[in-house]
């Protein structure tokens, strides 16, 4: 039996690939990992298009040690749908290891990830450094700032992923992230705020941190980028988003 | 009129998304950017599935200043298909800028990229540093080595993309890349070689550079990863690929 780990992309039900759809057809049960990101459509849309009932897999189900989901995959083909690409969230590597230890065959179907979708802002993907997340509670949290400092020192761009809590329908905004930068004394730093990346109409705004604070991004999830050293082509692209 | 930039994923014709297929349907002419990567299917497979004739866009057509393709997009909907994700190759950002200057509406349809597909080897995607390419002629080329040194110093992983020449059907191998590492005196360095990432059966091998040299990867394109500092979960995953 096969465990299919299927990326379903960043935006809506039609971001699935044909290979992804084929894999779903082979499965007797379909789960959706629903705690590390969100789509801009509801689960009914997925069910209608994929023609399968979708079971929500929360953190407890994916990360618990009893391996309920993996034990099911011993007996029948199971699909686990993952928003974005399959291994963009670190936690899913652990899941892969446990599956392999149980000798379950795993097939991965890749899809778009925020990590390459940020390419649209015009900063070279090759020149990003460490990616970091800003949590809701960040008063004395230095990890994101340390990653930024280290990247800047090495002339690299920094992608900040922003916290979310699906169960409470709560999402960190670009503005929240900029306030975090303010606390590190970076109000004049050039930033790029994004929302709805991967959709037909992404929102992208570049400007100094203090100026970006005036702009309200309307969709979720959002992310913030702080550019490192700019090549003139990168500068030219960012100017398109001023 | 709209210029659709459509990622078609990493492996075969069925890696396109439903949104990508819908976009192709709206276009009077479909180009395939065919010089920065390769698929594991031929162009006839794409034409059959997409139900459109596919015109090959080489470097000359995409990067020339006469903007033949962009000028077409002023008069009718044009699709440019890109292997992997749309902006994984730096050159396409330049294309986006030129389109915007000509006031052409651009819609991006994202897809899987090697940048997130490497997640399967088990190294955290958040902890990769600068990505670098090794060219065929690399005798005195220090850029890839400098990127590696800088990433290692910062405890970050390094993804090496390997040169290819589609017109000559010539692809750099993991072994070629390891020989480059040898010249930098890194024969004992832990490496991960990959081919066919994004397919149902990717090849992944981890081991010391000198030991990996004995393994022949069968598919293309290939890539090489040199891990930085390892978390125990990362080490455990790499062990699965020994």
Name the pTM for this structure.
0.96
Answer whether A15's CB lies under 8 Å from A84's CB.
no
DSSP three-state, residue B237: helix
Which pLDDT score, from 0 to 100, does residue B66 have? 74
Which pLDDT score, from 0 to 100, does residue A60 have? 87
E-strand ranges in chain A read 2-7, 29-33, 54-57, 78-82, 105-109, 132-134, 158-162, 164-165, 170-171, 190-195, 203-208, 222-226
Answer whether A83's CB lies under 8 Å from A8's CB.
yes
Which pLDDT score, from 0 to 100, does residue A75 have? 95
Q: Do A17 and B7 touch (CB under 8 A)?
A: no
Distance CA A219, CA A196 (A): 6
Strands B222-226 and B158-162: antiparallel
Distance CA B55, CA B46 (A): 11
**Residue A231 DSSP code:** P
Which pLDDT score, from 0 to 100, does residue B59 have? 87
Residue A73 has pLDDT above 80, yes or no: yes
Answer whether A112's CB lies under 8 Å from A106's CB.
no
Cβ atoms < 10 Å from Cβ of B177 = 26
Give me the residue label for tokens 């992309």. A9
Which pLDDT score, from 0 to 100, does residue B3 have? 96
Q: CA of A84 to nearest chain B CA: how many angstroms apart? A: 9
Asked if A7 has any chain B CB less than 8 Å from its own CB, the reply is yes
Asked if A67 has any chain B CB less than 8 Å from its own CB, the reply is no
Secondary structure percentages of chain A, helix, strand, coil, to 5: 40, 25, 40
**Would you state the structure tokens that stand for residue B87, as one six-digit string?**
């902006």
Which pLDDT score, from 0 to 100, does residue A91 have? 81
Strand partners, B165: B170
Give me the residue label for tokens 């995959």. A73
Residue A90 has pLDDT above 90, yes or no: no
User: What tens digit of pLDDT does each residue of B87-144 get?
Assistant: 988 788 989 999 999 999 999 999 999 999 999 999 999 999 999 999 999 999 999 9
Q: Which of A126, A225, A227, A237 to mutate to test the interface with B (most CBs of B within 10 A)?
A: A126
Q: Do A17 and B16 touch (CB under 8 A)?
A: yes
Which pLDDT score, from 0 to 100, does residue B64 have? 79
The radius of gyration computed from the CA coordinates of chain A, to the nearest angstrom, equals 19
By C-alpha distance, the chain A residue nearest B114 is A116
Q: Do A233 and B97 touch (CB under 8 A)?
A: yes
Q: Quick one: average pLDDT of B155-182?
A: 96
**Which of A52-66, A77-91, A152-166, B157-171 is predicted least confidently?**
A52-66
Which pLDDT score, from 0 to 100, does residue A131 have? 97
ipTM: 0.96
Among B188, B121, B186, smallest CA distance to B157 is for B121
Asked if B116 has any chain A CB less than 8 Å from its own CB, the reply is yes
Residue A52 has pLDDT above 90, yes or no: yes
pLDDT band at B201 (very low <50, low <70, confident <90, very high): very high
Give me the residue label for tokens 């990959």. B194
Cβ atoms < 10 Å from Cβ of A201 = 8
CB nearest to A112's CB, from B7, B18, B21: B7
Residues 161-180 of chain B with CB under 8 A from chain A are none
Residue A66 has pLDDT above 90, yes or no: no
Residues 77-96 of chain A with CB under 8 A from chain B are 84-88, 90, 93-94, 96
Give the CA distances from residue A172 to residues A160, A175, B26, B96, B207, in Å, rounded to whole numbers and listed in that order.
Answer: 11, 8, 36, 29, 40
Chain B contacts of A129, Cβ < 8 Å? 129-130, 154, 156
Cβ atoms < 10 Å from Cβ of A141 = 15
Give the CA distances from residue A21 to residues A30, A70, B13, B156, B177, in Å, rounded to whole numbers and listed in that order.
Answer: 11, 21, 13, 35, 36
User: What tens digit of pLDDT does each residue of A152-199 get?
Assistant: 999 999 999 999 999 999 999 999 999 999 999 999 999 999 999 999
Chain A contacts of B49, Cβ < 8 Å? 18
**Residues comprising chain B, all counted:** 242
**Would you state the structure tokens that stand for residue A114, as one six-digit string?**
């925020």
Among A75, A81, A95, A63, smallest CA distance to A4 is for A81
CB nearest to A119's CB, from B11, B87, B132: B87
Q: Do B112 and A237 touch (CB under 8 A)?
A: no
pLDDT band at B31 (very low <50, low <70, confident <90, very high): very high
Distance CA B142, CA A146 (A): 28
User: What tens digit of pLDDT does each residue of B51-99 get?
Assistant: 999 999 988 888 877 788 999 999 999 999 999 999 988 788 989 999 9
Which pLDDT score, from 0 to 100, does residue A62 have? 87
Give me the residue label for tokens 């991004």. A217
Residue B166 has pLDDT above 80, yes or no: yes
**Would you state the structure tokens that stand for residue B168, as one six-digit string?**
């000559």
Residue B198 has pLDDT above 90, yes or no: yes
pLDDT band at A114 (very low <50, low <70, confident <90, very high): very high
CB nearest to B97's CB, from A112, A119, A240: A240
Q: Do A19 and B7 touch (CB under 8 A)?
A: no
pLDDT band at B13 (very low <50, low <70, confident <90, very high): very high
Answer whether B36's CB lies under 8 Å from B63's CB.
no
Which pLDDT score, from 0 to 100, does residue B60 have? 87
* Average of per-residue pLDDT values in chain A: 95
Residues contacting A219, CB < 8 A, separation 6+ = A40, A195, A196, A199, A203
Give the CA distances from residue A91 to residues A95, A115, B217, in Å, rounded to whole numbers and listed in that order.
Answer: 7, 16, 28
Which pLDDT score, from 0 to 100, does residue A109 have? 98
**Would you state the structure tokens that stand for residue A173, as one six-digit string?**
């905004």
Sheet holding A158-162, edge to edge: A132-134, A158-162, A222-226, A190-195, A203-208
Strand partners, A165: A170
Residue A23 or residue A38, greater confidence = A23
């Amino acid at each position: 039996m096969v465990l299919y780990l299927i990326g379903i992309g960043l935006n809506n039900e039609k971001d699935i690939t044909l290979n992804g759809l084929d894999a779903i057809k082979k499965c007797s049960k379909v789960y959706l990992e629903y705690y590390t990101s969100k789509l801009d459509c509801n689960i009914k849309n997925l069910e209608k298009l994929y023609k399968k009932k979708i079971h929500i897999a929360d953190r407890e189900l994916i990360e618990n040690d009893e391996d309920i989901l993996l034990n099911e995959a011993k007996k029948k083909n199971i699909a686990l749908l993952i928003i974005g690409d399959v291994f963009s969230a670190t936690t899913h590597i652990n899941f892969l290891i446990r599956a392999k230890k149980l000798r379950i065959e795993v097939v991965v179907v890749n899809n778009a990830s925020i990590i390459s979708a940020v390419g649209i802002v015009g900063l070279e993907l090759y020149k990003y450094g460490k990616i970091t997340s800003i949590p809701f509670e960040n008063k004395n949290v230095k990890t994101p700032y340390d990653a930024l400092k280290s990247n800047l020192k090495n002339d690299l761009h920094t992608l900040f992923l922003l916290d979310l809590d699906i169960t409470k329908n709560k999402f960190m905004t670009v503005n929240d992230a900029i306030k975090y930068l303010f606390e590190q004394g970076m109000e004049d730093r050039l930033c790029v705020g994004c929302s709805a990346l991967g959709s037909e109409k992404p929102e992208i705004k570049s400007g100094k941190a203090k100026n970006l604070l005036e702009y309200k991004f309307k969709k979720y999830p959002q992310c913030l980028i702080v550019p490192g050293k700019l090549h003139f082509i990168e500068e030219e692209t960012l100017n398109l988003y001023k």
